[in-house]
Copies of this chain bind each other. A is one copy, B any other.
Amino acid sequence: MKITEVRVQTFRYRSRMVRDAHGHGHPGDEHDATQSLLTLTTDDGATGNALGSLTPAALRTVNEVVLGEDPFFHERVWNHLKERQRLNLGSLPDRVLTVVDLALWDLVGRVLGQPIHRLLGATRESVPAYASTMVGDDLPGGLDTPESYARYADWCVRERGYPAFKLHTWQPPLPGAPSVRHDLQACSAVREALGPDVPLMLDPFHYYSRLEALELAKGLEELKFLWMEEPMDEHSMSSYVWLCEQTALPICGPETVEGKMFSRAEWIRAGACDMLRAGVGDVGGITPLIKIAHLAEAFGMNMEVHGGGVGNLHVLCAMGTPGLYYERGLLHPFIDYDATPAWLNSPVDPMDSNGMVHVSAAPGLGLDLNYDYIRDNSVD
């Protein structure tokens, strides 16, 4: 079995998500947006899909590496792509590896008629979710004040059934952001609204100083938060070692820093985190995410999976030392996250009223694609 075609289809859809000058998503007016689907096809007609775009330069390298390969050699393909990154730093970031790796796992799972978590060796078929908000904004009744966060947290937990809640607070370019004091006001309002027993987490501004990060951590200790993520630039690992030494609040990371399993090994060794963090999108797919889960397990550390989506959900259902939560979102009072995207027939992470997200039993990733929609809205 050999891969004979790498195809990227780009298609239009209507989006209500807009990005600010720093790249953060917020609700906004409906407008045209595009999404892409990567499809790998073999000589005997098997296919594997994953959502995500590739630049022409990335597609060229992917073609060179993938064409003619047996999809069951996905570990070799991943390593070959990784080895091509050094001289193609601009065009071959880890997110390209992610899309190709997900499509390879999808292909193999579909050929074998098995969902990926069962190929990895399953441990469970559902995972508790936490509600993960968008970053703060200035939309009245949105995520504009501590009280708005509290009101939305109350809805997420008491109405929608989420067992836990994570705030992303205000960030530049929003006037007044960042502010440790404002962050803590929001966290305090949410804690007050939900009572002492609901697990809460914070992912604040990512470029605080050491002292600001510590002030935030001390405040969250009092509010009995479960963890905090990335309050400082993660390229300064020493800052995280320092922070972990100063606070009893669990620090979860790294998320943004490059280096896949290698950088995460260094964070554990250095004592720069209390919980490890990685997601398929950060590290280059299911292949490295499993390596990182194994790395964390060998050091007795929890790995909390970053971000949602089918790839992360399958890994969460195959971890020996389980990740505590599936990150569901990003959420906002003005957006119906449970609505199925136009390019799918059913959602990727259906959550029941007890806050459990159920993994698909369909072969491969289990993406329930609406091929008609994708064809009819193609922009090629």
Contacts and interface: CB of A to CB of B under 8 A. Distances in A.
A57 interface: no
B124 A76 contact: yes
Interface in A116-163: 118-124
A120 B294 CA distance: 14
Contact of A121 (B73, B118, B300): B73
Contacts of A290: 294
Nearest to A121: B75
Given A114-B112, A290-B294, A318-B75, A300 B262 contact: yes
Contacts of A73: 118, 121-123
A314 interface: no
A96 B99 CA distance: 39
A364 B265 CA distance: 32
B122 A76 contact: yes
A186 to B, nearest CB: 36
A174 to B, nearest CB: 37
A72 interface: yes
Interface residues of A, number: 35
Given A72-B118, A320-B75, A298 B123 contact: no
A290 B120 CA distance: 11
B79 A123 contact: yes
Contacts of A320: 75-76, 78-79, 287, 291
A5 interface: no
4 A-B pairs with least C-beta separation: A75-B121, A261-B298, A265-B298, A291-B294
27 contacts: A72-B114, A72-B118, A72-B122, A73-B118, A73-B121, A73-B123, A74-B122, A75-B121, A75-B320, A76-B123, A76-B320, A78-B320, A119-B119, A261-B298, A262-B299, A264-B298, A265-B299, A269-B269, A269-B299, A290-B294, A291-B294, A291-B297, A291-B298, A291-B320, A292-B294, A294-B295, A295-B295
